[in-house]
Amino acid sequence: MQINSPDAMSDLETWLCYLEQLHPTTIDLGLDRVKSVAKRLDLLQPAPYVFTVAGTNGKGTTCRTLEMILLAANKRVGVYSSPHLLRFTERVRINNQESKQQDTVDAFVEIEKARGNISLTYFEYATLAALYQFKHAQLDVVILEVGLGGRLDATNIVDADMAIITTIGIDHVEYLGNTRESIGREKAGIFKSKSLAIVGEPEIPLSILEVAKTVNCPIYAVNKDWSYQQIDNLTWQFITPLKQYDQLPIPHVPLANAATAIAALNYCSLSINHEQIINGLEKTSLIGRFQMIQTSPIIIVDVAHNPHAANYLANQIELLKKEHSNISKVRFVIGMLKDKDIKSTLSLLNADQWYCASLYGERGCNAEVLKQYLQDNKVEHISTFESVDDAYQKAMQDAKEDDIIVVCGSFYTVSAVLDKLGN
């Protein structure tokens, strides 16, 4: 069936509906199609210096830390990240400003002209639209967050100057394999022969080292070439054999990810000083990452959706309980996608009351499935709901002022609550 293409006068929503119908599959691994369109539009070098960031967890916060420090150093910076929480235009930031809808539409118009009969997925369109906007903004630095894996992700059409791997965990097994070695190999596909690599994963898979050796890409790894350590509740330090940054402020993102970003800046060719790092860290936070949106009761939203992220979330909640000794109950509002490691993720989280919500669409998991996993772990006090909104409303009704409500499990779960609050 022929689908009529929107035009420059069409709104963004019309374009996004069109893109969703255009390609037969949501994910179509391979770079030939998207790279050929990028060449036609001259998008393969969107800025003089490019970082590409891959990993199972921590990509978004690592990108954000890089962005804020580079902005503090007076660089013109573009960031591409996915998925979005509330608006498609969140995926592109230029100098810390979310992309304008019309700029995104203008990019889609040019991509549509250039692609001819080449079919592109929704994500490939989004990636090309980001590169188009970056190229026309004449930036100093572009930061690309990998959507899935690395080797065959659309962002990998760009030969980055610095490749970063944050963590390696089990996720997206249907595309990346079910071992840390196979997943590491896919992530390391962003390494290029003329680039450098930073690895923030402390238990680095051998496959990553093998790929780096094969393509002749030098690696700087945590606990080998650089390290970090928290000094007290307010400060931490970053250490390399040649340089040390002391008295760094604790940012509102995981310290491991902030340290990985600083490692990248330390080993790259851009000139960044201690004061700029401090200024950037003080401003670093990211929507939906252990974000406190209310204090009485305390409401936390976090997009944690796999075991590694759930473990971090659980630890942060324990720290919060120590800070607030009067906490009565912890209430979890959770909705997940069925292709995630639900069993392991839920086993790491502790709550006094669970509010399980169904997520819809082909990947959404039914609340009853979540309940069954919890019951298998001998968990009690579980309620199920048809929607995240229903689950959240019930948690709010039940909560006392000294409770914690945690909303987590998926970007979709968090976005439903943030959308409800008009955040």
pLDDT, tens digit, 9 for 90 and up, residues 177-223 = 568 898 999 999 999 998 999 999 999 999 999 999 999 999 999 99
How far apart, in whole angstroms, are the C-alpha atoms of residue 308 and residue 165? 15
Looking only at the bridges linking them, the beta strands covering 353-357 and 196-199 are unpaired
* 279 phi and psi angles, rounded to 5 deg: -60, -40
Confidence of residue 1 (pLDDT cuts 50, 70, 90): very low
As a whole number of Å, the end-to-end CA separation of the chain is 39
Greater confidence (171 vs 367) lies with 367
| Average per-residue pLDDT for the chain | 92
How far apart, in whole angstroms, are the C-alpha atoms of residue 226 and residue 9? 51
How far apart, in whole angstroms, are the C-alpha atoms of residue 411 and residue 409? 7
Confidence of residue 157 (pLDDT cuts 50, 70, 90): very high
**What is the chain's length?**
423
Q: What is the pTM of this model?
A: 0.91
288-343 pLDDT, tens digit each: 989 999 888 999 999 999 998 999 999 999 999 988 888 899 999 999 999 889 99
Return the SS3 of 12.
Answer: helix
Quote the pLDDT of residue 171: 60
Greater confidence (80 vs 361) lies with 80
**DSSP 8-state assignment for residue 295:** E
Between the alpha carbon of residue 230 and those of residues 233, 281, 294, the distances in Å are 8, 14, 27
Residue 113 CB coordination number (10 Å): 11
Mean pLDDT on 105-109:
96
The region that residue 172 occupies, defined by phi over 0 for left and psi between -120 and 50 for alpha, beta otherwise, is left
| Lookup: tokens for 115 | 């692609």
382-391 pLDDT, tens digit each: 999 999 999 9
Quote the pLDDT of residue 349: 95
> With 80 as the cut, is the pLDDT of residue 122 above it?
yes
| CB 366 within 8 Å of CB 313 | no
Quote the pLDDT of residue 260: 98
57-71 pLDDT, tens digit each: 899 999 999 999 999
> With 90 as the cut, is the pLDDT of residue 46 above it?
yes
Identify the weakest region by mean pLDDT among 64-68, 168-172, 344-348: 168-172
Residue ranges and CATH numbers for the domains of the chain are 12-282 (3.40.1190.10), 291-421 (3.90.190.20)
Return the SS3 of 197.
Answer: strand
Identify the weakest region by mean pLDDT among 29-43, 73-87, 409-423: 409-423
Quote the pLDDT of residue 422: 72
Of the candidates 404, 252, 251, 396, the one whose C-alpha atom is nearest the C-alpha of residue 324 is 404
